[in-house]
Amino acid sequence: MEINVQNLKVRFASPAGYVEAVKGVSFTLGREKLGIVGESGSGKSLTARSILKLLPKRACMTSDTLTFDGVDIQHADETAMRQIRGKRAGLIMQDPKYSLNPVMSIGAQIAETWRTHRGGGRMEAFEAAFDLLDQVKIRDPRRVAGAFPMELSGGMGQRAMIAMMLAPNPEILIADEATSALDVSVQAEILRLLENLVTTRGMALLLISHDLPLVSRFCDRVLVMYAGRVVEELKASDLARAQHPYTRGLLECLPSLARPCKRLKTMQRSDAWTA
């Protein structure tokens, strides 16, 4: 499985002409943990969603190359995309409250995903759902399977979401700010869980986040995006040694417990970064 993205552009039509939100992003992704970081509006989510062709209707996407394991995404029709979306690439979004169906029990939702992609009977699918909930370290899978999303905490909801995404045994998980809405303690658990699953199943992971320290700890490689472009690409463990002034700026304006300071540094933006 390899994702190859070359010169990806995403534009939106506006009364004042086209607004380019992603301005020529290129990267490849194999079996690894790749992080994309940047501020809101930097185009990191649009970049990730382009891979699944899940863009708003008004968006216009172009690229030189956009392939998922050899499949040309840009020219793929909806039938072809359904073989990728969910089945080969799972997407975990920020808030389980919005991405889970509020009027279906957790177990039924996971079983539905299982049957859609793998077929099989109802009973078999429900057994699979219990097993998946168990894999995401839910202590009482049978009880949680019968619960509705509103009855679960944010962390539990996110686990259920991950369980659902694992059902078709995908080759890649795309986590779009999957832990941003969670408490730090829960965040750590979810990340550890993702890490385990990714390693044991040999999946690739694309982690989109605005949290640089988190990405640095968790990923192998990081793309730093600013205003629709990748301004820097580095090994995640080298994030603290980033060269680009934007990346440095993002790191330096973080308050720290270990290094108290009277005033936080603020970002001095430069026009050169967007040139």
Binding site residues, another protein, CB under 8 A: 39-40, 153-154, 183-186, 188, 210-214, 216-217, 240-241, 249-251, 253-261, 263-267
Residue 273 Cβ vs another protein, minimum distance, rounded to whole Å? 13
Between 21 and 84, CB nearer to another protein: 21
Both structure tokens of 265: 């540094």
Residue 153 Cβ vs another protein, minimum distance, rounded to whole Å? 8
Residue 250 Cβ vs another protein, minimum distance, rounded to whole Å? 6
Residue 220 and residue 34: Cα distance in Å, rounded?
A: 6
Residue 172 and residue 206: Cα distance in Å, rounded?
A: 7
Residue 53 and residue 81: Cα distance in Å, rounded?
A: 8
Identify the helix (H) or strand (E) that includes residue 5: strand 3-14
Between 73 and 224, CB nearer to another protein: 224
Between 4 and 216, CB nearer to another protein: 216
The DSSP result for 54-99, as a single string, is ---TTEEEE-SEEEETTEETTT--HHHHHHHBTTTEEEE-S-HHHH
Residue 162 and residue 126: Cα distance in Å, rounded?
A: 16
Residue 148 Cβ vs another protein, minimum distance, rounded to whole Å? 19
The closest alpha carbon to 31, from 65, 2, 71, 67, belongs to: 2
Residue 177 Cβ vs another protein, minimum distance, rounded to whole Å? 12
Q: Is 176 helix (H, G, I), strand (E, B) or coil?
A: strand
Both structure tokens of 248: 């440095």
Residue 204 Cβ vs another protein, minimum distance, rounded to whole Å? 24
Between 82 and 241, CB nearer to another protein: 241
Contact 36, 206 (CB under 8 A): yes
Between 258 and 275, CB nearer to another protein: 258
The closest alpha carbon to 159, from 198, 184, 186, belongs to: 186
